[in-house]
Amino acid sequence: MIVMFMGEYHQKIDEKGRLTIPAKLRTELGDNFIVTRGLDGCLFIYRKETWEQIINNYQNLPNIKEARNFMRFFLSGATNLEFDKQGRINISSPLIKYAELKKETVIIGVGDRLEIWSNDKWNNFINENEEDFSKQADYLFSQNIN
């Protein structure tokens, strides 16, 4: 089954680091999934199957400093999670600190993963990049990516 995550969901994280994931996304994620540091100051959530593919790809990277450093960054924050009875996940304090999560969060679907953003960072990202999205689309789709 191919899963394509998409959409934008605004959720609150509590003082214990618990974040409710919308029911539709819970169904698509499955029972076990991985949360880790993402790029651009957000967290990534991967389905277990997708995570295994990523790890297989990483094992083929050359043993160079850049690959080792990225692996340290990406894998040291990775946590295998499950939902509690209320459909929440418990995000560790190092990941909360990394993503600067406060009460208001935004969960977005980005193809093969979900991303968790602080509301402030997400709004800044949109505001800072809004004018470039059209140019980026023109560039990407002119590259014959299919």
Read off the pLDDT of residues 39-70 as tens digits, 9 standing for 90 and up.
Answer: 999 999 999 999 999 999 888 888 899 988 98
> How many structural domains comprise the chain?
1
CATH number of the domain residue 49 falls in: 3.40.1550.20
Residue 61, domain member (yes or no): yes
Rounded distance between C-alpha atoms, residue 97 and residue 92, angstroms: 9
Q: How much is the pTM?
A: 0.89
**CB atoms near residue 123 (< 10 Å):** 13
Rounded distance between C-alpha atoms, residue 68 and residue 8, angstroms: 33
Q: How far is CA 108 from the centre of its chain?
A: 8
Residue range 65-94, pLDDT digits in tens = 998 898 899 899 999 999 999 999 999 999
What band does 20 get if pLDDT is binned at 50, 70 and 90?
A: very high
Residue 144, domain member (yes or no): no
Cβ-contact 5, 113 below 8 angstroms:
yes
Residue 18, domain member (yes or no): yes
Which residue range is the domain that position 61 belongs to?
5-118
Torsion of CA 52, 73, 128, 5, to 10 degrees: 10
Helices (H), the chain: 23-29, 48-58, 65-76, 93-99, 119-129, 133-142
Q: Is the pLDDT of residue 131 over 90?
A: no
Residue 126, domain member (yes or no): no
